[in-house]
């Protein structure tokens, strides 16, 4: 099955315009694909076929709308649930799933825990588990670009809990002082694992924290793809015109668990979950497209079928690929391996050949 091209490069747009019907349809297809990946990967982890997963259900519109407003040359600094952002950027689904499995085709050779992927060729930096570390990295990269007079922005993704981290303060303060061309994108999904948003801060909004750093702060309905696209587009234009960074708070909801190591039933009610499910961004986007005549029920079913078919094919391939070879642990350390490393590699290969060590 041929995969529809839905990357920003394949969907040219005028910065002053909103998304066209064709672009909205393409964005919706990516949201459907992201949700399909989410549902299947949760099942794969429960079945013991992958080791860990951090869902994004409920945050698809925020991620796709945001990523669509960026350009391929911009650098993305994700947290650990930005699959939809990666798909918009053009990262192949196969590469993402291979990383979850840590197989021999995983670009990082099994050296990152599942769900912590990164691809330099797509300017998508590898995620890390400690919250907030990506913020200061993004600001530093933005400053480097500014010094080189490169017309790009950097964007860091993080959740509401990260606004309490040291890196949040250090990154935004530095960016404000030096007017770094950077965007800070909070996906306020209402829960920092089990800590509710009202226990995180007394601030009326998270975006108003921008005032302390002298930068722009914006609150947006993160369930509305078009609204997110507009505020990120404006933030990008502001940064490139010398207007400084922007802190965006996309108000969303995490419909699933924080990760596959979490049980949200222990700290939130079914009533709360049901209320937010009524605002599901995918259902909302579908209804918008149906109402405007830009989507039919038949097309919608086709999108879901294609997404699941593509995913099944990708998983089948990932499971057919052998694990990463043990000897790769000696690679990428030095441009020219040291004699000690060569000796250790030879010893490992001998033990493997004799069956003393199992791959």
pLDDT digits (tens, 9 = 90+) for 323-343: 999 999 999 989 999 999 999
pLDDT tens digits for 113-164?
999 999 999 999 999 999 999 999 999 999 999 999 999 999 999 999 999 9
Q: Which tens digits make up the pLDDT trace of 168-194?
A: 999 999 999 999 999 999 999 999 999
Q: Is 15 part of any domain?
A: yes
Please tell me the distance from the alpha carbon of residue 234 to that of residue 324, in angstroms, as a whole number: 43
Same domain, 173 and 66: yes
Cβ atoms of 38 and 281 within 8 Å: the answer is no
Residue 2 domain-assigned (yes or no):
no
User: Which residue among the candidates 28, 258, 266, 303 is catalytic per the annotation?
Assistant: 258
Selected catalytic residue, list 267, 279, 336, 350: 267
Structure tokens belonging to residue 80: 């650990």
Q: Are strands 246-251 and 216-221 parallel, antiparallel or unpaired?
A: parallel
Structure tokens at 255: 């419909």
Query: What is the domain-level CATH number for residue 29?
Result: 3.40.50.970
Residue 81 annotated to the active site: no
342 shares a domain with 227:
no
pLDDT at position 17? 60
- Cα 212 to its chain centre, rounded Å, is 27
For residue 256, the SS3 value is coil
Shared-domain flag, residues 41 and 137: yes
Task: Based on the fold, state whether residues 222 and 242 are members of the same structural domain.
Answer: yes
Query: Do residues 230 and 345 both lie within one domain?
Result: no
Count of CB atoms within 10 A of residue 96's CB? 20
Average the pLDDT over 266-285 and give the result: 96
Q: Quote the number of domains for the chain.
A: 2
Does the residue 302 lie in any domain?
yes
Domain assignment of residue 1, yes or no: no
Residues 18-38 have a mean pLDDT of 96
Question: Span 342-354, mean pLDDT?
Answer: 94
Q: What is the pLDDT of residues 147-158, one digit of tens each?
A: 999 999 999 999
The answer as to whether 3 is a domain residue is no
Query: 329 and 185: one domain?
Result: no
In sequence order, what DSSP letters do the residues of 130-192 get, joined into one string? STTHHHHHHHHHHHHHHHHT----EEEEEEGGGGGSHHHHHHHHHHHHHT-SEEEEEEE-SEE
For residue 149, is it within any domain?
yes
Enter the tokens of residue 32: 């459907």
Same domain for 339 and 192:
no
Q: What residues does 158 pair with on adjacent strands?
A: 186
Domain hosting 235: range is: 8-324
Query: 258 catalytic, yes or no?
Result: yes
Catalytic one of 254, 266, 336, 345: 254
52-75 pLDDT per residue, tens = 999 999 999 999 999 999 999 999
Whether 303 is catalytic: no
């Amino acid at each position: 099955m041929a995969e529809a091209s839905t990357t920003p490069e394949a969907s040219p747009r005028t910065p002053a315009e909103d998304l066209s019907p064709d672009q909205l349809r393409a964005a919706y297809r990516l949201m459907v694909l992201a949700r399909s990946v989410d549902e299947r990967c949760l099942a794969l982890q429960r079945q013991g076929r992958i080791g860990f997963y951090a869902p994004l259900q409920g945050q698809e519109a925020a991620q796709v709308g945001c990523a669509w407003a960026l350009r391929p040359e911009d650098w993305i600094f994700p947290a650990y649930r930005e699959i939809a952002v990666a798909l918009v950027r053009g990262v192949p689904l196969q590469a993402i799933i291979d990383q979850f499995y840590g197989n021999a085709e995983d670009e990082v050779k099994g050296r990152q825990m599942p769900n912590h992927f990164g691809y330099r060729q797509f300017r998508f930096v590898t995620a890390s588990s400690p919250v907030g570390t990506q913020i200061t990295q993004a600001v530093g990269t933005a400053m480097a670009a500014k010094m080189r007079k490169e017309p790009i922005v950097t964007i860091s993704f993080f959740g509401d809990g990260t606004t309490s981290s040291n890196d949040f303060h250090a990154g935004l303060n530095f960016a404000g002082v030096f007017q770094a061309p950077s965007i800070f994108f909070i996906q306020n999904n209402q829960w920092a694992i089990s800590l509710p948003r009202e226990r995180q801060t007394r601030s009326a909004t998270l975006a108003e924290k921008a005032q302390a750093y002298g930068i722009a702060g914006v609150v947006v309905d993160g369930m509305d793809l078009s609204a997110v696209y507009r505020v990120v587009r404006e933030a990008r234009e502001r940064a490139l015109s010398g207007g400084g960074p922007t802190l965006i708070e996309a108000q969303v909801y995490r419909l699933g668990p924080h990760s596959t190591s979490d049980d949200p039933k222990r700290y939130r009610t079914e009533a709360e979950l049901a209320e937010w499910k009524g605002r599901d961004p995918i259902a909302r986007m579908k209804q918008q497209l149906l109402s405007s005549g830009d989507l039919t029920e038949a097309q919608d079913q086709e999108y879901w079928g294609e997404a699941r078919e593509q995913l099944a094919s990708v998983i089948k391939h990932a499971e057919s690929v052998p694990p990463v070879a043990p000897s790769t642990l000696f690679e990428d350390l030095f441009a020219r391996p040291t004699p000690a490393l060569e000796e250790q590699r030879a010893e490992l290969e001998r033990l493997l050949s004799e069956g003393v060590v199992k791959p």
